[in-house]
Structure 1
Amino acid sequence: MAERSEVQSRIGIEHPVVQGPFGGGLSTVALTATVSNAGGLGSFGAHILEPDGIETLARDLRAATDQPFALNLWVSDHDPGGYPFPKEAFDAVWPAFEPYFREYGLDRPEPAARYHPRFEDQVEAILAVQPRVFSFVFGVPDRAILEACRDRDILTLGAATTLAEAEALADAGVDIVLATGFEAGGHRPAFLEPAEANLVGTLPLTRQIAAHLRVPVIAAGGIADRAGIDAALALGAGAAQLGTAFLACAESGTNDAHRDVLFSPRARHTVLTRAYTGRLARGIPNRVIAEMEARADRLPPFPVQAWFLGHLKHTAIASGDEDFASLYAGQGAPLLRHRKAADLMADLTRPAEARAVA
């Protein structure tokens, strides 16, 4: 392959390939380790884990790979009104979910003290386990956290949806910026303005950051094959992050119904929606999107909405029903070809000469 980029050299990876971190239980040790062992950067979305879970995860990853990996958290762990969320508020939103709980034979759940782990507690675990890369979305950690990472030789990787967000990350001292375009599947990690206002495409965003800032850039959003990686590198990125392509692999934590949809004509159409969690995300239309959007004025903020939907999603999936599954998918989904992570990595990292004759 070509000479290593600054991103590759700093992280210590052979190939300019980053696996997107999936939250909500969709990341797995097997997928992360497969990518890292093949010379890319495997990532694990750990935002729903408590600190002891992060410590266990790091041990499991190190047992599966001796190569660099990234652990990902959400800097903002709740939206306004999401914490505290008193019982009166719980009682007020319950009627919006009650019919679906009845449909799936579920009892009314008890309110939780907190609906998402505390970011500050999770960071303490990150500092303790010292992954090669600490990646994060939905904001910029405090300078003290970034300095603590630097002291421990943990590289920091922050997501930006606009040039202004990239500037905020660079000014804070973040090591690498992830330019995440609106084509990406999953959540839009905007933090300076509402996510709907930050819909810059991957290619212009990557080029803007590379042209205006000195910080190294990784491109993400709509990239599903080697041609997409090459396009990102040509615009100044040091690597490309692929999410949907890895989510479609058997090693990911999603289910067969979701994978089948990703490889079907339905994946040609994706939408941005707040139906899954209360935060804007891209996925393939299904019943949960249609019906939750119709109830938008009665739904609670993140993470409470995600908590309610989680109960329904797990039960629906267990019964083979994808009506309430979060069918995350990026706009590159129609390009998917591989169902095994090793095969995908082999295709993404083929030498240029081999690609020319393939």
Structure 2
Amino acid sequence: MAEGAALFANWPDDRLTRLLGTQHPIIQAPMAGATSLGLVAGAIAGGALGSLPCGMLSEDAVREAVNAVRALEAGPLNLNFFCHDLPPDEDDGDWRAALSSFYGEYGIDGSGPTPPVRKPFDAAMCTVVEEAQPEIVSFHFGLPDAPLLDRVRATGARILSSATTVEEAKFLADHGCDAVIAQGYEAGGHRGWFLGTEPDSQIGTIALVPMIVDAVSVPVIAAGGIADARGIAAALALGAAGVQLGTAYLFAEEAPIIDVFQQALMSDRAGQTVLTNLFSGGVARGIANRLTDSFGAISDRAPPYPHASAALAALRSAAEAAGDDGFSPLWAGQAAPLGAPTGAQALTERLAREALAQIGRA
């Protein structure tokens, strides 16, 4: 405990650690499909904010996950939710027709079980938050409507959300966010954009962070292209109060990613990421594969988010069973080649220790 207190005192900007109640200004990013309970608990044990991705879970599943993490490790916990506009069920016949040759290759007709639709944060999930009383609640794709946001705030939870532009950061700060996550162009996974036209708003982390720092009074959290202590030190130098890391945690032994994803991360392909809408209909960064090579990374043939994934479900399953990642969303950021296998707790502790040394605070 004494060592922890000393490290807490050494960070040059303590706004985020005090806001979150963490030892280090590090957030383990909530990565749907790539986050286990052990990963979250390991990040918390290492002094970071552990994050549970809840956007693809049922209300009961969120309740169970919160209880399980808290049984594994005490410490601040973040529940993350999506706030996208859900379009009506899309006729994806054209998309399935475009994929038909791949269906034939794997001897499937493209039908069968499909993944659950990613639902935006709603009143039922807000009730779960009220019951669970997490220390932090974060959102992606903006914020929920004011009545729901007021209910979340009434629980005492600190509220975070992602911004890809200065305009979005100002909106979040003006609508009561306690801190803003500045998501640079380099970040893996889905872009958190919610204002304007995404293809025209691509800003790298090194430019985005200081602009947002100058534009808002709340703490700014840098995300995108940060996977080691040098990146953390650079983010702090740019004025960020802390960092959010996702891709670095994909290399943790607790990360529940499939073998073909692990192999891609450990190969030279990890440095070949693209922004694509093919897997979900939303723009997200991942490792290029057969699907992106076949259609181009961005295609208007894919239905809007989140409906594109349904037509890929059976194809993805068949390909993965054959050891082929060609139709799997391999979400990863541009700093993926800097990752190295380790445990989540050990990774967090090493990043903090080395970052403090980088900034002369060790």
CA RMSD of aligned residues (A): 2.5
Q: Which one of 66, 69, 73 corresponds to residue 65 of structure 1?
A: 73
The letter for the 2-side match of 1:314 is S
- What pairs with 1:171-250 in structure 2 (closer than 5 Å)? 171-250=174-253
1:21 positional shift: 0.9
The letter for the 2-side match of 1:319 is A
Range that drifts further, 144-153 or 293-302: 293-302
Deviation digits for residues 282-314 of structure 1, max 9, x if unmatched? 112110112243893433222111222233223
Partners in 2 of 1:311 and 1:15 — Cα distance? 42
**Could you tell me whether the CA contact under 8 Å between 1:16 and 1:239 is conserved in 2?**
yes
**Could you tell me whether the CA contact under 8 Å between 2:140 and 2:161 is conserved in 1?**
yes
1:216 positional shift: 1.0
| Paired position in structure 2 for 1:84 | 89
- What pairs with 1:301-312 in structure 2 (closer than 5 Å)? 301-312=304-315
| Paired position in structure 2 for 1:39 | 47
Range that drifts further, 114-123 or 51-60: 114-123
Partners in 1 of 2:64 and 2:101 — Cα distance? 37
**Could you tell me whether the CA contact under 8 Å between 2:56 and 2:116 is conserved in 1?**
no
| Paired position in structure 1 for 2:38 | 30
**With structure 2 as the length reference, what TM-score do the two structures score?**
0.89
**Could you tell me whether the CA contact under 8 Å between 1:181 and 1:205 is conserved in 2?**
yes
Partners in 2 of 1:295 and 1:345 — Cα distance? 34
The change in CA–CA distance for 1:207 and 1:113 in structure 2 (over 3 A counts) is closer
- What pairs with 1:1-358 in structure 2 (closer than 5 Å)? 1=7, 2-3=10-11, 5-23=14-32, 25-78=33-86, 82-85=87-90, 89-109=91-111, 115-120=117-122, 121-293=124-296, 296-350=299-353, 352-353=356-357
Partners in 1 of 2:156 and 2:297 — Cα distance? 47
The change in CA–CA distance for 1:269 and 1:299 in structure 2 (over 3 A counts) is closer
The letter for the 1-side match of 2:21 is G
1:98 positional shift: 3.4
The letter for the 2-side match of 1:240 is V
Q: Percent identity?
A: 37
The change in CA–CA distance for 1:169 and 1:325 in structure 2 (over 3 A counts) is same
Deviation digits for residues 20-45 of structure 1, max 9, x if unmatched? 1112x211111011001111011121
The change in CA–CA distance for 1:307 and 1:77 in structure 2 (over 3 A counts) is farther
Aligned-partner SS, 1:349: helix
Deviation digits for residues 169-188 of structure 1, max 9, x if unmatched? 01111111000000111111
**Could you tell me whether the CA contact under 8 Å between 2:185 and 2:202 is conserved in 1?**
yes
1:92 positional shift: 4.7
Partners in 2 of 1:221 and 1:5 — Cα distance? 21
1:263 positional shift: 2.4
Aligned-partner SS, 2:57: coil
Deviation digits for residues 140-165 of structure 1, max 9, x if unmatched? 22222222222111111100000100
1:50 positional shift: 1.8
| Paired position in structure 1 for 2:4 | none
Range that drifts further, 30-39 or 335-344: 335-344
Partners in 1 of 2:271 and 2:110 — Cα distance? 37
The letter for the 1-side match of 2:145 is D
**Could you tell me whether the CA contact under 8 Å between 1:54 and 1:126 is conserved in 2?**
no
Partners in 2 of 1:123 and 1:96 — Cα distance? 38
Aligned-partner SS, 1:165: helix
**With structure 1 as the length reference, what TM-score do the two structures score?**
0.90
The change in CA–CA distance for 1:282 and 1:265 in structure 2 (over 3 A counts) is same
Aligned-partner SS, 2:196: coil
Aligned-partner SS, 1:307: helix
Deviation digits for residues 238-291 of structure 1, max 9, x if unmatched? 110111110122211212222222222222222111122111111121101122
1:226 positional shift: 1.0
State how many pairs are aligned: 351
Partners in 1 of 2:357 and 2:205 — Cα distance? 27
The letter for the 2-side match of 1:17 is I
Aligned-partner SS, 2:71: helix
Partners in 1 of 2:129 and 2:121 — Cα distance? 10
Partners in 1 of 2:252 and 2:246 — Cα distance? 10
Partners in 1 of 2:213 and 2:298 — Cα distance? 41
The letter for the 2-side match of 1:145 is L
